[in-house]
Amino acid sequence: MVDAPSKPFDIAPVTIEDEMRRSYLDYAMSVIVARALPDVRDGLKPVHRRILYAMKENGYDWNRAYRKSARIVGDVMGKYHPHGDTAIYDAMVRMAQDFSMRLPLIDGQGNFGSMDGDRPAAMRYTEVRLARSAEALLEDIDRDTVDFQPNYDDTSREPMVLPARYPNLLVNGAGGIAVGMATNIPPHNLAEVIDACCAIIADPSLDDIGLMDIVPGPDFPTGGTIVGRRGIREAYLGGRGSITIRSKATIEEIRKDREAIVVTEIPYQVNKSRMMERIAETVQEKLIDGISELRDESDRDGVRVVIELKRDANPEVVLKQLYRFTPLETTFGINMLALDAGRPVQMGLRRVLDCFLAFREEVVSRRTAFELAKARERAHILLGLALSVANLDEVIALIRAAPDPASARAGLLARAWPIHDIGPLIALIDEPGHPVVDETYRLSEDQARAILELRLQRLTGLERDKIAEELRTIVAQIGEYLDILRSRPRRLEIIRDELLAVREQFETPRRTVIDEVEDETDLEDLIKPEPMVVTVSHGGYIKRTPLVTYRAQRRGGKGRSGMATRDEDFVSQVFVAGTHAPVLFFTSLGKVYLLKVWRLPPGNPTSRGKPMVQLLPLDTKAGERVTSVLALPEDREAHHGRSLMFATSTGNVRRNDLADFTNVKANGKIAMRLEEEGERLVGVVLCDESQDVLLATRGGKCIRFPVPEVRLFQSRTSTGVRGVRLAGDDEVIDISILRHVEADAGTRAAYLRRAAQERRSPGEGDGTVEDVAAPDTEEGADADAAAPERLLSDEEFLELAANDDLILTVTANGFGKRTSAYEYRVTRRGGSGIANIATSARNGSVVSAFPVAADAEIMLVTDGGQVIRMPVGDIRLAGRSTQGVILLRVADGERVVSAALLPAEADEAGDGAAVDGIAPDAPAPEAAAPETPTPDGTAVPPDSDPS
């Protein structure tokens, strides 16, 4: 016999694109639905749901003994979750971590990991049981409240969702990455979420804004502070948003003159150990300055990270830097994506709560229907028992006459029993298939079996009354259940009562604080605006000191220490600028760097400061060093129309727009090209085209020319043009900006003579013109001397006086004078200049020359570190070629190296109080001041001018 040919295979061509698309979608949906995303109803993923159900099924309740984790993992993997044991154990561990779950669902015993990222102990060592909060998720699961499905091998059944009594999705949050989508839901406070549910029940029209008044934001188990509400609002309204979480830190004084930042709460999901490593890295990378020690003092009572600060550090600034550069402040991206009816849906706060309340209403309805069926079943049995008790004699006679139980049961079923006094109860019980006919009732199989199994003790009078009472109770319950099923308000009331019961049992205070105002301020916004004295040493050290540290003294005083110098280092520059002012650093290689004053290292008047090589990326191998420092105005609007004038030691000048240097990156930029050997930048000043430039040389010469004499250069790499012609080894030591005043030579001469007469007083010169201005010996020097004399009206004189710039000139030996700017005539750039001050052996070379106001103050610094602060008004006015008066008595071998102008209104310590333990100096009477020898050996008072 030949076998019949088998049926050919059904083969159909399929394109690879269609097959890949279908297979990928099947895989993606499997991951989305069966693994990665939580259900909006109970807030659980399948693995978490299976763990909790397996523990409930095996009786590992909160009031039972702990069981080995390995046993539970085995049960879950063998019956419900056909994946690796590691995935199951990790999920179970997370549900037991109080720093991961706002309301832990598993009560663990043993090592379940830590906030430092430590792994939990192996599952064979740890023990677990259900937490009481998990019981609220599993309660009523045996009352047909949820649907069940076959497990993976169809040997048992598992729930598709748990009948959660509270919105676990919001309370504990969720996180997961699926295929093409992800979810990241933060935890919330249980009491707030339940209050929001009750508010929706009470007012279904409540909008999202009203809900946010009840649920202000997430509540993380690790506490912390949420900065601002913008991200919360976006997440609650649209399902997506980003919030900033900041650690809780306080500033404590740990010992005298030492403070520490103590962190007691860290952002959610931040590894504390890694956070501390990052803090140490920022200190090593010099991103944060001011930290001296870091230690972890955390214990079982909570987190405590101590960040000890240096003595001169600003705690608020260091804390802000920690927030910026370390995980002490992180962002949490909220993506409220969950499964709703098996579909991934991105939803806001109101929709999540609506889905939960709809689910709870379904659970209550199904539970009520289940209880109703059970009550009716019990009422049916009780009805038979009550009927048999009411007809007790007939029932006993029938049973006694029956030869066997089957005959007795048949006899009970065959008769129609009179209902007597239980008729009203039968009317209240829905008895389909058992109608009341002619006031009689026929028993069912179950009722007949229950009558035959009735014990004799139930036939006593008391027991008969109990049967009737139980029947009446069951009938009342049936009526209650029917009312619940017919009335939605009743169901909502039950949901509300159950939510409040859960709230009362598990509520805890809010741990996360929410800052009402967005923190969009920059780090420097925390810095108090105040004037600072910036001190720069010849060796490249820099520091900032509050201006109030220095008190004003009379001229001729001894001063006070301004910087502790070492070896051959000495103070080379001092200026005053606000804490928010940008400072430009020009280097020997012609580059420029920018730092704000508050970023400079703080120091007291006697400290050395820090080397600028640690603050700026200088090329030390090429010998790059800072040669000039310039403070810019804080107000950017003041930069408009202004330019920078560069001056080199060889007499070259160059002008650039200020905008070329307001944005300097961290690695700096080219400022000016220097060609000659030994050439350096001596100054960079702000100017506009309505002003004049004054260049002063070390040899006592100066030149004044209008700013437009130097064209505006477009390049930053040019060498500029000649500003002054130098003689011999002379060099430019200062550049200043003066107001340009249109006045001829005769007018200027007349003003100078009248000014000299009006300020003449006994003991101060003889009032002649020579006391004010000596004849010039340079080219064009006779221009002013030959000017015709004229008389000035009071109005002309006052106008000229209002526009007068007084030039203060300071020499190395501590002498100086003020000179009217009208004595410096305006010429063309490139000349050899005119006399500025007599550079005699007494005076020494010129150190600085710049304009000052009559009510201002100056600060003089010596190479020995001595500093004196004095009012400008104490310094005598004199002519250009005079020698001036003593300003600072320098020690032998010491010389003045820098002079800085201080605004008079910046003096906040004018009371002369002692600073750093130095007693205030009493102003010495001028008559008692020591006399100063002149070059010819005669002695002159300190107020007089030897010239």
Return the HEC string of 272-302. Answer: HHHHHHHHHHHHHCCCCCCEEEEEECCECCE
| DSSP character at residue 805 | P
CA–CA gap between residue 544 and residue 546 (Å, rounded): 7
513-528: burial string, b at 16+ Cβ within 10 Å, e else: bbeeeeeeeeeeeebe
291: Cα within 13 Å, side-chain hemisphere:
25
Beta bridge partners of 263: 249, 305
Q: Under DSSP, is residue 325 helix (H, G, I), strand (E, B) or coil?
A: helix
CB distance 247 to 263 below 8 Å: yes
Give the phi and the psi of residue 889 in degrees, each rounded to 5: -85, 105
Secondary structure (3-state) at 112: coil
Judge contact between 699 and 734, C-beta under 8 A. Answer: no
Please provide the size of the chain in residues.
947
CA nearest neighbour of 123 among 95, 88, 76: 88
CA distances from 289 to 44, 322, 632 (A): 46, 10, 24
How far does CA 811 lie from the centroid of its chain? 51
Strands 258-265 and 291-296: unpaired
**Is position 125 annotated as part of the catalytic site?**
yes
Please give the single-letter amino acid code of residue 825.
R
Among 234, 154, 166, smallest CA distance to 507 is for 166
User: Which one-letter amino acid corresponds to residue 590?
Assistant: G
Backbone angles phi, psi at 159, to 5 degrees: -75, 145
- DSSP letter (8 states) at residue 121: P
Rounded to whole angstroms, the Cα distance separating 898 from 460 reads 119
| Residue pair 818/876 in contact by the 8 Å Cβ criterion | yes
Distance of CA 16 to the CA centre of its chain: 51
Task: Pick the catalytic residue from 89, 125, 152, 481.
Answer: 125
Strands 681-687 and 643-648: antiparallel
Show the tokens assigned to 122.
Answer: 């192996």
Give the per-residue SS3 of 28-70.
HHHHHHHHHCCECCCCCCHHHHHHHHHHHHCCCCCCCCCEEHH
- The b-or-e profile of 84-105 (16+ CB within 10 A means b, else e) is eeeebbebbbbbbbebbbbbbb
For the chain, the farthest-separated pair of C-alpha atoms sits apart, in whole angstroms, at 161
Would you state the structure tokens that stand for residue 121, as one six-digit string?
């102990």
| Cα end-to-end distance, the chain, whole Å | 146
List active site positions.
125
